């Protein structure tokens, strides 16, 4: 079943503004130190190890997690808005399975015009 991944931030931002980005992943982060109460079998460790955030293809933030992070991990960090573009977040599992979530951030300047990463004339 597809697990829930959530990414939330301000849709419209001014240039130079610092915006908060909140992420949430649905994962029960098995620590590997828990036994089945009846049979005594150890539940094997299965956690999210790495979270990377990219802003227009440039890595902005990285997190390495160990077994001490809570289940359904929530993470909030900050990014300065320079130009409008994609914000991508990637979660990497213990077994290397990767899940993505991305969203579009629109950035405007003083005259309420969108700041695009590439200038072009049509």
Half-sphere exposure of 96 (CA within 13 A, CB side): 0
Identified binder of another protein from the candidate list 59, 86, 98, 116, rule CB under 8 A:
59
Size of the site for another protein (CB under 8 A): 36
Q: Scanning residues 88 to 117, which ones bind another protein (CB under 8 A)?
A: 94-95
Rounded to a whole number of angstroms, the minimum distance from the CB of residue 60 to another protein is: 5
Nearest residue (CB) to another protein, 44 versus 121: 44
Burial of 23 (0-12, 13-18, 19+ CB in 10 A): buried
Cβ-Cβ contacts under 8 Å for 14 (sequence gap 6 or more): 81, 107, 108, 109
- Residue 93 φ/ψ, nearest 5 degrees: -90, 175
Rounded to a whole number of angstroms, the minimum distance from the CB of residue 121 to another protein is: 28
Q: Scanning residues 11 to 50, which ones bind another protein (CB under 8 A)?
A: 18-19, 31-35, 42, 44-46
Report whether 29 contacts 70 (CB < 8 A). Answer: yes
Rounded to a whole number of angstroms, the minimum distance from the CB of residue 14 to another protein is: 12
Asked whether position 69 contacts another protein by CB under 8 A, the answer is yes
């Amino acid at each position: 079943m597809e697990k829930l991944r959530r990414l939330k931030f301000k849709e419209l931002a001014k240039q130079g503004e610092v915006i908060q980005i909140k992420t949430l992943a649905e994962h029960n982060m098995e620590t590997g130190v828990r036994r089945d109460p009846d049979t005594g079998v150890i539940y094997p460790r299965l956690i999210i190890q790495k979270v990377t955030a990219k802003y227009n293809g440039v890595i902005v933030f990285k997190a390495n997690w160990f077994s001490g992070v809570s289940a359904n991990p929530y993470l909030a960090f900050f990014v300065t808005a320079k130009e409008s573009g994609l914000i991508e977040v990637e979660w990497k599992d213990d077994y290397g399975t990767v899940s993505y979530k991305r969203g579009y951030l629109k950035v405007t300047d003083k005259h309420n015009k969108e700041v695009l990463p590439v200038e072009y004339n049509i």
